[in-house]
Amino acid sequence: MTNELRLRIVDLHEWNGATLMRRTSWMILRQWLLVVLATAISAALASAETIEFDICDDSTVASSRSTPSEDFTAIDDGSVVRHERTGLEWKRCAQGKEWDDGRCAGEAKQLTWQEALDRADETDMEEWRLPNVKELRSIAERCNREPAINRSVFPDTEPENFWSASPVFDLTGHAWVVQFDGGGTLRVGHNWEESRVRLVRSKE
């Protein structure tokens, strides 16, 4: 083998080695970029499911409230309020509590999703039903936390999860709750988890 041929073989090995390193580096970089992109998408989706609560400051809190008291009218014996903006009528107390002289007395029941749906379908409940997730979010107060609700309209509300009637269509066995500690939403397994319940009715 001539010296010239040996040099060409060495050059070819060096070129192949350099090419392999470049390809390996690009594959590592591509994997890293995919991880970063997936993380960013997950964060964006998570934030899209949560009501923002950091927009209320002392100077604008009155005008920034999402559920001001003047948007609600007490009806019946005061145990129900009509949300004038949506036309929905809400029980002021969670299931298990009773309206008593401006307060909700007793202890809120914790039910599975199916129990909550069944309770709303009982004949003595008339037209009361479990709200869908959009309806339930409509009474979350973005300027309040723990609980994230208008305390004058809905007194003695626990800062806990409340069931909606909305199943999670892309996740079998789960339903949406509204988290009234901060006002966000969460997908919860409805076969084993228990949450609180507030009923609503629609009036023409």
Q: Which residue has the higher pLDDT, 92 or 29?
A: 92
- What DSSP line would sit under 90-134, residue for residue? EESS-TTEEEETTEEEE----B-HHHHHHHHTSGGGTT-BPPPHH
Q: Which helix (H) or strand (E) holds 82?
A: strand 80-83
Nearest to 95 by CA among 50, 125, 133, 140: 125
Lowest mean pLDDT among 27-41, 54-68, 137-151: 27-41
Q: Is 41 helix (H, G, I), strand (E, B) or coil?
A: helix
| pLDDT interval class at 64 (50, 70, 90) | confident
The per-residue pLDDT for 46 is 38
Torsion of CA 16, 18, 20, 21, to 10 degrees: 170
Count of other CB atoms within 10 angstroms of residue 150: 22
- Domain formed by 61-202, architecture: Roll (3.10)
Nearest to 199 by CA among 69, 73, 84, 92: 92
Q: Which residue has the higher pLDDT, 87 or 192?
A: 87
Nearest to 186 by CA among 197, 198, 174: 174
Query: What value does the mean pLDDT of the chain take?
Result: 78
Cα separation, 103 vs 79, in Å, equals 9
- Return the amino acid letter for 28: I
Cα separation, 182 vs 161, in Å, equals 10
- Return the amino acid letter for 190: H
The per-residue pLDDT for 141 is 93
Give the distance, in angstroms, between the CA of residue 40 and the centroid of all CA atoms in the same chain.
Answer: 19
| pLDDT interval class at 56 (50, 70, 90) | low
The per-residue pLDDT for 53 is 41
Residue 151 has pLDDT above 70, yes or no: yes
Lowest mean pLDDT among 24-38, 81-95, 178-192: 24-38
Domains in the chain: boundaries? 1-48, 61-202
Q: Which residue has the tokens 């969460």?
A: 186
Residue 100 has pLDDT above 90, yes or no: yes
**Angle subtended at Cα 159 by Cα 154 and Cα 162, rounded to the nearest 5 degrees:** 80
Q: Which residue has the tokens 């970029």?
A: 33
- pLDDT, tens only, 102-145: 999 999 999 999 999 987 766 456 689 999 999 999 999 989 99
36 DSSP 8-state letter: H
Regarding beta strands 200-202 and 88-91, do their DSSP bridges make them parallel or antiparallel, or are they unpaired?
antiparallel
Residue 82 has pLDDT above 80, yes or no: yes
The per-residue pLDDT for 121 is 67
Residue 58 has pLDDT above 70, yes or no: no
The per-residue pLDDT for 42 is 41
Residue 153 has pLDDT above 90, yes or no: yes
